[in-house]
């Protein structure tokens, strides 16, 4: 599906790009290739915005147990709900939930571990880049009051041992932090660069001891 054919509801200050569709397509392809048929997805779209990544991933998967959408900015909720109504059928809609929260303070049911985490998070560091005038857009581009290491910690703590996390990033902005993060984990987790599209790369994180 191309960008122009997808009529997602989105705010004026932030429109998704081909990166989001690339992530959704790769996530569903990887799930189909790596997991047995009938493996039921417990999904999370982390930093979900209007929901395009999770919704487009769900549309390509047959067996979804539930899909959660976690987003800091409450104004995205209306956009998400309109998109879920338009792009998902009744059964799929009964499996989605939008959570308006910062991932640092998100406390899902402690028994829930996700076996698919997809994320198109803010790519840039505030300290290295010039901020724009619209703070809502800045929140889409830069982590604020948190950071990429906390993002990795959240994934590590919420991912099922059999699951996979797929996230986008600009290599030069995050590779150093990935290396430091991995050195601090007890050698039970790997993060590899799976593919690149232009300046953006798709990273895959998963547990080694299953
Ligand atoms: C690059 S945008 C991507 C949005 C959407 N995933 C897409 O592909 O269009 C990053 C999103 O992360 C959200 N975000 C930023 N910091 C966050 C945090 N600490 N917790 C949850 N969401 C956050 C922003 O509000 C924004 O919607």
Helix ranges, the chain (H): 18-34, 52-58, 76-87, 90-93, 135-141, 148-158, 171-184
Mean pLDDT on 18-41: 93
Counting the structural domains of the chain, the total is: 1
With respect to residue 32, please indicate whether it lies within any of the assigned structural domains: yes
Whether residue 11 is predicted with pLDDT greater than 70 in this model: the reply is yes
The domain containing residue 111 runs over which residues? 17-207
Please state which of the ranges 112-121, 125-134, 137-146 shows the lowest mean pLDDT.
125-134
Which residues make beta-bridge pairs with 45? 69, 118
Helix ranges, 108-147 (H): 135-141
Helix (H) or strand (E) holding 198: none
Distance 50 CA to ligand 1 centre (A): 9
pLDDT of residue 150: 96
With respect to residue 27, please indicate whether it lies within any of the assigned structural domains: yes
Confidence of residue 4 (pLDDT cuts 50, 70, 90): low
Confidence of residue 81 (pLDDT cuts 50, 70, 90): very high
Probe target for ligand 1 pocket from 49, 103, 123, with the most ligand atoms within 8 Å of CB: 49
Question: Residue 79 sits in a domain of what CATH number?
Answer: 3.40.50.150
Rounded to the nearest 10 degrees, what angle do helices 171-184 and 148-158 cross at? 50
Contacts 24+ apart (CB under 8 A), 15-19: 16/49, 16/50, 16/52, 16/120, 18/197, 19/120, 19/168, 19/197, 19/200
Which residues make beta-bridge pairs with 165? 117, 205
With respect to residue 8, please indicate whether it lies within any of the assigned structural domains: no
| Ligand 1 atom 24, closest CA | 140
203 contacts 168 by C-beta, under 8 angstroms: yes
With respect to residue 156, please indicate whether it lies within any of the assigned structural domains: yes
With respect to residue 35, please indicate whether it lies within any of the assigned structural domains: yes
Question: Using a 6 Å cutoff on CB, does residue 191 contact ligand 1?
Answer: no
With respect to residue 128, please indicate whether it lies within any of the assigned structural domains: yes
With respect to residue 150, please indicate whether it lies within any of the assigned structural domains: yes
Is this prediction's pTM over 0.85?
yes
With respect to residue 169, please indicate whether it lies within any of the assigned structural domains: yes
């Amino acid at each position: 599906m191309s960008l122009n054919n997808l009529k997602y509801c989105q705010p004026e200050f932030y429109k998704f790009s081909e990166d989001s569709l690339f992530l959704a397509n790769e996530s569903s392809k990887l799930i189909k290739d790596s997991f047995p048929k009938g493996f039921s997805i417990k999904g999370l779209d982390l930093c979900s915005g209007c929901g395009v990544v999770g919704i487009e991933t769900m549309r390509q998967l047959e067996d979804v147990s539930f899909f959660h959408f976690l987003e800091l900015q409450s104004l995205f909720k209306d956009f998400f709900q309109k998109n879920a109504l338009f792009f998902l059928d009744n059964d799929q809609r009964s499996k989605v939930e939008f959570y308006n929260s910062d991932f640092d303070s998100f406390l899902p049911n402690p028994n829930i571990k996700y076996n698919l985490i997809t994320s198109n998070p803010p790519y840039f560091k505030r300290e290295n880049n010039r901020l724009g005038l619209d703070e809502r857009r800045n929140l889409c581009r830069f982590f604020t009051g948190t950071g990429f290491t906390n993002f990795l910690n959240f994934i590590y703590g919420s991912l099922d041992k059999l699951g996979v996390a797929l996230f986008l990033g600009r290599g030069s902005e995050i590779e150093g932090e990935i290396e430091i993060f991995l050195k601090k984990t007890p050698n039970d987790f790997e993060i590899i660069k799976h593919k690149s599209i232009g300046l953006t790369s798709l990273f895959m994180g998963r547990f080694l001891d299953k």
